[in-house]
């Protein structure tokens, strides 16, 4: 590509922008429209000459002749021009006459010194993606209902028989019923996990963010697993630490992540060993750690341990989704999760979340 580079570059770039498969609009730092490409004219139905020089907030009034941009577009544009960093991605609803979803992504254009030269916006019709997304949600909802209904009958019947509803049962019968009960419980967990991860991946999860005391959160989750740890003869302890900032997170989801990591650790810990949980502040972030003294994770498996359905050999009847859900939830909270394998024996799972503004002791 070195041929006549200096002479072709400007024309090549303008040709690229002109023929770009998404609508492109360039605005000056005061949001006056400088330039639009062919696709943008096609999307809006407004000629380039009409758009040129106009303030971007006037766009909806022009559009209304061709498309019905909806009342929200005006508010969305005002918000964009006031807080471009917070509103960098917006989706407009245009009726022309059928409903189309138009996604606008905006980025500042800066020179080498960081001076703002312009804003560049791309506009694409994301209606099809949105429809697929809605179909996926609908499928999740229907699948959830259709699978849970027969499962309720199976679980209910087995639990009632084992609970003594029909009178005493002979040992071999009990053994067979218990096999069925364990399998149906596992199936229910699997369905719940599949629905959970589909929901997170489809961006359909709603986080109820609140300020949480990190230490209290850890103690509370550890307490809820005390009976399980005792049953496995594992010494579950919270390691002492200094003051830790609060986090801004969804309580149920955080408990879900911690429960998953702790119960995994307990499950793989040999009897009479410890599982240690801790929470510390590391460079203005809150780091939770769960350490066990089990057989650890082979180095070649570390990279894939958080992948869906990736289970280690000898995995004890998990769904293969627990860690994938943990990672998805932590990322949804703006944090990160990893496993430290260099500890020996055993493994140490850690995740970090940004500290909330208010510091708690």
> Which of 23, 38, 50 shows the shortest CA–CA distance to 59?
50
Choosing from 81, 144, 259, 295, the residue that interacts with other proteins (CB under 8 A) is 144
Per CB under 8 A, the list member of 21, 97, 114, 163 interacting with other proteins is 163
Cα torsion 303, 308, 313, 318 to 10°: value is 130
Would you call 214 exposed, middle or buried from its count of C-beta atoms within 10 A (0-12, 13-18, 19+)? Answer: buried
User: If binding is defined by CB under 8 A, does position 88 make contact with other proteins?
Assistant: no
**First-last CA distance in the chain:** 60
Shorter beta-carbon distance to other proteins: residue 107 or 205: 205
Taking the least distance from each CB to other proteins, the nearer of 63 and 197 is: 197
Nearer to other proteins among residue 2 and residue 153 (C-beta): 153
User: Minimum distance from CB of 150 to other proteins (Å)?
Assistant: 8
Q: Map residues 204-243 to x or -, x wherever contact with other proteins holds by CB under 8 A.
A: -xx-------------------------------------
Q: Does 6 bind other proteins (CB under 8 A)?
A: no
| Residue 268 beta carbon to other proteins: minimum distance, rounded to whole angstroms | 27
Which residue of 53, 156, 303, 334 would you call a contact of other proteins, by CB under 8 A?
A: 156
* Residue among 12, 78, 105, 160 that touches other proteins (CB under 8 A): 160
In a 10 Å sphere around its CB, with 0-12 CB exposed, 13-18 middle and 19+ buried, how is residue 265 labelled?
buried
Looking at 39, 199, 287, 333, which residue binds other proteins (CB under 8 A)?
A: 199
**With contact defined as beta carbons under 8 Å apart, do 66 and 44 qualify?**
yes
Q: Which of 96, 100, 136, 148 binds other proteins (CB under 8 A)?
A: 148
Judged by CB, which is closer to other proteins: 297, or 328? 328
Residue-wise over 281-296: b if at least 16 C-beta within 10 A, else e? beeebbbbbbbbbbeb
Contact segment (CB under 8 A) with other proteins among 152-160, 217-225, 294-302, 351-359 equals: 152-160
């Amino acid at each position: 590509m070195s041929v006549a580079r200096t002479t072709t570059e400007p024309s090549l770039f303008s040709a690229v922008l002109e023929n770009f498969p998404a609508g492109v609009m360039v605005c000056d730092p005061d949001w006056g429209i400088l330039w639009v490409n062919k696709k943008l004219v096609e999307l809006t139905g407004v000629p380039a000459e009409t758009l040129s020089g106009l303030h971007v907030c006037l766009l909806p009034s022009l559009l209304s002749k061709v498309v019905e941009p909806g009342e929200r577009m005006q508010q969305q544009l005002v918000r964009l021009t006031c807080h471009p960093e917070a509103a960098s991605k917006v989706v407009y609803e245009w009726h022309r006459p059928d409903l189309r979803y138009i996604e606008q992504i905006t980025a500042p254009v800066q020179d080498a010194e960081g001076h703002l030269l312009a804003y560049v916006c791309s506009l694409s019709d994301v209606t099809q993606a949105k429809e697929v997304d809605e179909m996926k949600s609908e499928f999740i909802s229907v699948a959830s209902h259709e699978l849970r209904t027969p499962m309720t009958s199976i679980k209910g019947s087995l639990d009632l028989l084992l609970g003594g509803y029909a009178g005493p049962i002979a040992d071999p019968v009990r053994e067979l019923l218990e096999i069925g009960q364990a399998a149906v419980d596992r199936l229910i967990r699997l369905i719940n996990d599949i629905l959970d991860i589909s929901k997170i991946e489809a961006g359909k999860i709603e986080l109820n963010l609140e300020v949480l005391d990190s230490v209290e959160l850890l103690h509370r989750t550890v307490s809820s697993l005390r009976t399980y740890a005792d049953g496995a003869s594992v010494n579950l302890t919270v390691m002492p630490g200094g003051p830790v900032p609060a986090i801004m997170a969804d309580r149920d989801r955080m408990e879900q992540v911690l429960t998953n990591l702790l119960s995994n650790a307990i499950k793989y810990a040999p009897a009479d060993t410890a599982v240690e949980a801790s929470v510390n502040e590391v460079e203005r972030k809150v780091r939770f750690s769960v350490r066990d003294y089990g057989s650890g994770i082979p180095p070649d498996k570390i990279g894939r341990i958080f992948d869906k359905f990736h289970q280690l050999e000898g995995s004890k009847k998990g769904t293969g989704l627990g860690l994938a859900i943990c990672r998805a939830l932590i990322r949804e909270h703006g944090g990160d999760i990893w496993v430290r394998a260099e500890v020996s024996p055993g493994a140490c799972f850690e995740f970090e979340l940004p500290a909330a503004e208010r510091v708690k002791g």
